[in-house]
């Protein structure tokens, strides 16, 4: 944090700090902004104070340039360290633009699909071929007919919950074809829009 120094009048009741090179009273003040210029202390020094300073760095004008350059590099490194992994605009707004996300899971024995609200992580509608009513009526729990049934149930239950649009994000190297394509096409045919 950068400190800005201002001279104190003799009538002030605030405690004062004394600065060795200039031997006058100063009080630390918070900077008004986070810009580079506010990080450099605002010291009111005269040429006479610099020449009579005990520090050899301040007496030699060629070495004084190195002090100013160090302040520039210190500030720029601090800016990078402040926010190392800032999210992009799409990452920050995507859960509000497309709040409902469809998850489809295919195991060796059954199919499971659910619609989740991204902001609250609440499950809005669920359909599974392992449910009691479907397990006894479907001849196979993993074939194309089971995929169509799951898609139809998800669409109906989503419309009952007043959800008419959802999104599906495929995993890395996942193609929308076969059983997954059948589930998504059935959901579209039953009145749900994919965004």
For residue 12, what pLDDT band results from cuts at 50, 70 and 90? very low
Looking at residue 37, what is its pLDDT? 59
Model pTM above 0.85:
no
In the sheet that holds 17-18, the strands lie side by side as 4-7, 25-29, 17-18
Residue with tokens 């995507």: 94
**Domains of the chain, earliest start first:** 4-8+15-82 (no CATH), 89-194 (3.30.420.80)
Describe the crossing of helices 144-160 and 178-189 by its angle, rounded to 10 degrees: 40
Q: Model confidence over 59-116: pLDDT tens digits?
A: 555 555 545 555 555 555 555 566 667 888 988 899 899 999 999 999 999 999 999 9
Alpha helices for the chain (secondary structure H): 47-51, 56-59, 61-82, 89-97, 132-137, 144-160, 178-189
pLDDT at 15 > cutoff 60: no
């Amino acid at each position: 944090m950068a400190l800005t120094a201002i001279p104190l009048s003799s009538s002030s009741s605030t405690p004062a700090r004394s600065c060795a090179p200039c031997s006058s009273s100063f009080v630390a003040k918070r900077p008004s902004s986070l810009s580079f210029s506010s990080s450099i202390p605002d010291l009111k020094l005269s040429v006479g104070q610099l020449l009579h300073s005990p520090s050899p760095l301040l007496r030699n004008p060629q070495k004084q340039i190195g002090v100013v350059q160090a302040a520039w590099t210190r500030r720029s490194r601090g800016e990078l360290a402040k926010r190392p992994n800032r999210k992009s605009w799409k990452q920050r707004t995507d859960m509000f633009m497309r709040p409902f996300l469809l998850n489809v899971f295919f195991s060796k024995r059954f199919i499971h699909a659910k619609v989740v609200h991204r902001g609250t992580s609440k499950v809005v509608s669920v359909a599974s071929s392992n449910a009691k009513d479907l397990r006894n009526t479907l001849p196979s729990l993993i074939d194309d007919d089971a995929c169509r049934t799951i898609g139809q149930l998800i669409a109906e239950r989503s419309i009952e919950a007043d959800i008419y649009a959802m999104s599906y994000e495929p995993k890395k190297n996942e193609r929308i074809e076969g059983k997954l394509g059948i589930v998504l096409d059935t959901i579209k045919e039953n009145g749900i829009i994919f965004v």
